[in-house]
Chains A and B, each alone.
Chain A
Amino acid sequence: MSEMHWRDLKETDFGALKSLAGQWDAYINDMVAQAEIITEDVVKKHLGTENFDSATADDVRRQADLLADSIQDDLHEYAMVKIRATLEDAHVELTECQAQLFDLIEAVTGEYRFEGGSGDPHVVVSDGHYERIAALEATAALMERAGVKESDFASDFGQNESRQRLIAAAETVAGELTEVLKAIMTRAHNADDDAAAILKSIIDTPAEQPPPIGATYDDLIDGYEEADAERHAEFLQELASGDSEATATGVNDWWNGLTDDERADLIGSHPGLIGGLDGIPSATRNDVNQNLLTTEIDTTGARISEVQTRLDQMLADGSSTTNAEEYRNLQLELGELQTQYDNATALQAALNAGSDSGEPLLLIDFDTSNDGTAVVSVGDPDTAHHTAVYVPGTTSDLGGIGGLVGDASTLQADAERFGIDGEKTAVVMWLDYDAPDNAVPVTQDGPFAPEAWRDDQALDSRSGLNSFLEGVDAAHGGDAHTTLIGHSYGTVATGATAAEYQIAADQIIDIASPGLMVGTAEELSVGGDDVWSTRAEDDVIELAVGTGAMGADPTSTEFGGNVFDAEAIGDSGTKIHSGYLKDNAEGDENPARLTMAEIITGQRG
């Protein structure tokens, strides 16, 4: 339990924690470089088989590899997470506590004073304050609090009565201030305790080192490697289950710290987890997911045949009636399998179609169940100079994945064509949320409330979208130039995310938006100057904008962002709503295409 006294909190320079975290950061970078030297220069070159070729030399090379691996693991788990991050977190918490304490001290100076030790801090009325009350020189605030007026001082009785009430009020205030002081100190103690516990755990559970070469080496090495692999698999499971607090940046750090063999082992044993994990390099996720998709098409297709054959048999021999429950369950399974198969083959067809610019299509994530989700990138966002993450809107699902990837392909081709020669652009189609299925409030069965009229699906998308953007940035080395693009309901998702999180994106483009869940562009974490909005005349979305249900009209002057032109292409409000990347009948392109390409490639703003 922390014994930090309020005087310690007041007088300590917590900037030292931040400086220390910075020094650890430099140390980590140096040590990562050293570990790479061991692997790349020492093992592969100086100790290479062309120079040393023997069983002992093999052991020495393996030992050196393991040592370098161990150093990198320790750098991540101990130096980066347990030490540097702990120091940074403690600095933030304790600095905030100190600022709160300073505010409290400023508020009470002259009237109250702090007393008590670290376990019982409290605020009392100062002697000077008692003396001023005795002299009836109380502040207006205290008199109001005590219900005392100047006119009450006219008589001796009134003066005595007033003094008692003023003292009681001052002591009540002291009690209230004590609660504030205790809350500040409790927060500071918690930060102190948390940091101490994490740092102590380094001593309690030191990092395991590879066994030394010697008589027991052969007995110990297999166990060491198995334990190491288990540790990584456990971490992966924690990430997938949501038990880990690691962010996409943490995932990227961890992944970069693994050896090629460790990565290959994890991909082999947990492909589904690796394929869906933000922070893992896009090319790796693509390789894993392409294999998973092929396997899923094969296995689902085979199971469909099995189930269909069984259903046919049951129908032929009459058991569909005598064993109706099994028959019904098989029919249900067949329906689900068919949906899954249709989604998977639609996704495969979209990938096979390729891109307009010839850039590869990367399958960064997918799920073929129900409506299906997918994240497909045109080009590699990890290496591109510019990346756009495009969030589609209502009715988007895997059944229409061809059109969605086609939109991303057009955006990407335009960016390559209108951008600076030599600067690559990747456009990611991010459909990793449950987009609304409908927006029109009437069906043949009568009126109903469409999903697109509610904000819950946009709100549910926030965490995943924020994590994906962070993963893009992390996999790009922390310096990605990223534009978040939303269309229609996709803008509600992008706006809600940018309002909730400090997103890892530089700018936002909203196309045909019903609103971004905010009143002004400035409420979005990219800042108002980097929000770009467009809406064509007669777009059906104008009806939704008019309700204000999803926030202010982003194309209005009051909203405060940038607005650019789009032509109304299509013969109805619904067609116009989907016409922002289209040509009109005469072949004239929508001018929004050029503007968006220039924004994405950093030529606007």
Chain B
Amino acid sequence: MNRNPPPERDFDEAEAYPLMEQTVLDTIAGLPDFPGFKSRMYYSPEDCEESLGEQYQGWVSLEIAYTFDGPNSESDLVRTTYTDLLRDQWTAAGYEVHQDSIDASTGRGSLEAERADGINLWWTVSGSVSFAVQTGCIPATEGFDKPDYIPPAGGVIPENDAAVQNRMNPPEDAAGEATDPFASASESPSDN
């Protein structure tokens, strides 16, 4: 049962989306031979007062998620190597790894870490492998409906970008724009 007062937060709802997307970019930059994500989705913001009680009046919780495609979700690189790397990187960065339910025999489960700024990182190895970023409860931004378009990280093509359909304002360029997954310091698989 959670009766804690709202935590101190350095950003609000409107500021959170770019921050979360940058978190995704930073995370995949540390993953070698990154093959790209298949899809992106934004969950509808959650009203913290409704979930947790009246002390959270005016607070919301956000969650965005990226998922790998089938072949990459089945690959050792993504299922095992990335899981081990993230565990090490998050620990080394001083994040609080508060959940590690990755099963040693099946490789399935969740790995979660919370950063000092309260951002929660959630890596899940299931039928597909996915990476989510959660804010926890943050102050809602008055008059804010949904964020302006932010290009998806990891090479998600527009037709697989669910976030742009209902959860963010459409891009000025209707064709959308995906961030080149190989523009980061990661090595390209084609170089191998």
Determine if chain A interacts with chain B.
yes
Binding site for B on A (CB under 8 A): 353-359, 403, 406, 409-410, 413, 416-423, 537-538, 568-572, 575-576, 578-579, 582-589, 591, 594, 597-598, 601, 603
Q: How far is the CA of A591 from the CA of B52 in the complex (A)?
A: 16
Take A569-B2, A585-B4, A586-B114 as given contacts and tell me if A420 and B162 are in contact as well, using a CB distance cutoff of 8 Å: no
Residue of A nearest to B43 (CB): A356
B130 & A583 in contact (Cβ 8 Å cutoff): no
Q: How far is the CA of A423 from the CA of B167 in the complex (A)?
A: 23
Take A418-B124, A418-B128, A569-B52 as given contacts and tell me if A586 and B7 are in contact as well, using a CB distance cutoff of 8 Å: yes
Residue of B nearest to A418 (CB): B126
- Residues of B within 8 Å of A419, CB to CB, are 126-128
Answer yes or no: B33 CB below 8 A from chain A CBs: no
Binding site for A on B (CB under 8 A): 1-4, 6-7, 38-39, 41-44, 46, 48, 50-53, 55-56, 61, 63, 65, 67-70, 73, 98-99, 101, 110, 112, 114, 118-120, 122, 124, 126-128, 130, 134-137, 161-163, 165-167
Residue of B nearest to A420 (CB): B127
Residue of A nearest to B48 (CB): A585
Number of A-B contacts (CB under 8 A): 146
- Residues of B within 8 Å of A587, CB to CB, are 61, 63, 114, 118-120, 134-137
B41 & A572 in contact (Cβ 8 Å cutoff): no
B61 & A575 in contact (Cβ 8 Å cutoff): no
- Residues of A within 8 Å of B51, CB to CB, are 569-570, 575, 578-579, 582-583
- Residues of A within 8 Å of B165, CB to CB, are 354, 358
Q: How far is the CA of A356 from the CA of B164 in the complex (A)?
A: 10
- Residues of B within 8 Å of A586, CB to CB, are 7, 114, 118, 120, 136
Q: Which of A354, A576, A603 contacts B127 (CB 8 A)?
A: A603
Q: How far is the CA of A586 from the CA of B2 in the complex (A)?
A: 10
- Residues of A within 8 Å of B127, CB to CB, are 418-421, 423, 598, 601, 603
A583 & B134 in contact (Cβ 8 Å cutoff): yes
What are 18 A-B interface contacts by the 8 Å CB criterion?
A: A358-B163, A409-B44, A410-B44, A413-B41, A418-B128, A419-B126, A421-B67, A568-B2, A569-B2, A572-B53, A582-B51, A583-B134, A585-B52, A586-B136, A587-B119, A587-B135, A588-B114, A589-B63
A418 & B130 in contact (Cβ 8 Å cutoff): yes
Q: Which of B2, B63, B130 contacts A570 (CB 8 A)?
A: B2
- Residues of A within 8 Å of B73, CB to CB, are 421
Chain A nearest CB, measured from B119 CB (Å): 7
- Residues of B within 8 Å of A576, CB to CB, are 1
Chain A nearest CB, measured from B25 CB (Å): 19
Take A358-B41, A571-B52, A588-B120 as given contacts and tell me if A421 and B137 are in contact as well, using a CB distance cutoff of 8 Å: no
Q: How far is the CA of A210 from the CA of B137 in the complex (A)?
A: 69
Q: Which of A355, A423, A582, A594 contacts B126 (CB 8 A)?
A: A594
Q: How far is the CA of A417 from the CA of B41 in the complex (A)?
A: 9
B134 & A538 in contact (Cβ 8 Å cutoff): no
Q: How far is the CA of A409 from the CA of B165 in the complex (A)?
A: 14
Chain A nearest CB, measured from B90 CB (Å): 15
A585 & B56 in contact (Cβ 8 Å cutoff): yes
- Residues of B within 8 Å of A570, CB to CB, are 1-2, 51-53
Known: A416-B39, A586-B7, A587-B137. 5 other contacts (CB 8 A): A356-B166, A575-B52, A582-B46, A585-B7, A587-B63
Q: Helix, strand, loop or mixed for chain A's interface?
A: loop
- Residues of A within 8 Å of B65, CB to CB, are 413, 417
- Residues of A within 8 Å of B4, CB to CB, are 585
Q: Which of B1, B99, B128 contacts A417 (CB 8 A)?
A: B128
Chain A nearest CB, measured from B146 CB (Å): 11
Q: How far is the CA of A575 from the CA of B130 in the complex (A)?
A: 28
Q: How far is the CA of A537 from the CA of B52 in the complex (A)?
A: 15
Q: How far is the CA of A569 from the CA of B53 in the complex (A)?
A: 10
Take A418-B128, A420-B128 as given contacts and tell me if A583 and B3 are in contact as well, using a CB distance cutoff of 8 Å: no
Take A410-B43, A417-B65, A417-B67 as given contacts and tell me if A538 and B126 are in contact as well, using a CB distance cutoff of 8 Å: no
Q: How far is the CA of A417 from the CA of B110 in the complex (A)?
A: 13
Q: How far is the CA of A92 from the CA of B157 in the complex (A)?
A: 56
Residue of A nearest to B59 (CB): A585
B166 & A584 in contact (Cβ 8 Å cutoff): no
Residue of A nearest to B7 (CB): A585
Chain B nearest CB, measured from A206 CB (Å): 53
Q: Which of B3, B70, B119 contacts A421 (CB 8 A)?
A: B70
- Residues of A within 8 Å of B55, CB to CB, are 571
Chain A nearest CB, measured from B133 CB (Å): 9
A571 & B41 in contact (Cβ 8 Å cutoff): no
B122 & A589 in contact (Cβ 8 Å cutoff): yes
A583 & B46 in contact (Cβ 8 Å cutoff): yes
- Residues of A within 8 Å of B50, CB to CB, are 403, 578
Residue of A nearest to B130 (CB): A417
- The winner among A358, A410, A420, A594 for most chain B CB atoms within 10 A is A358
- Residues of A within 8 Å of B101, CB to CB, are 591
Chain B nearest CB, measured from A226 CB (Å): 45
Chain A nearest CB, measured from B47 CB (Å): 9
Chain A nearest CB, measured from B46 CB (Å): 6
Residue of B nearest to A583 (CB): B61
- Residues of B within 8 Å of A538, CB to CB, are 1
Chain A nearest CB, measured from B166 CB (Å): 3
Residue of B nearest to A573 (CB): B1
- Residues of A within 8 Å of B67, CB to CB, are 416-417, 421
A353 & B44 in contact (Cβ 8 Å cutoff): yes
Q: How far is the CA of A248 from the CA of B108 in the complex (A)?
A: 39
- Residues of B within 8 Å of A584, CB to CB, are 2, 52, 136
Residue of B nearest to A582 (CB): B51
Question: Which 7 pairs across A and B sit closest by C-beta, in order of nearness?
Answer: A354-B166, A587-B136, A358-B162, A421-B70, A587-B134, A571-B53, A587-B120
A420 & B70 in contact (Cβ 8 Å cutoff): yes
Chain B nearest CB, measured from A567 CB (Å): 9
A583 & B63 in contact (Cβ 8 Å cutoff): yes
Take A571-B2, A584-B2 as given contacts and tell me if A594 and B7 are in contact as well, using a CB distance cutoff of 8 Å: no
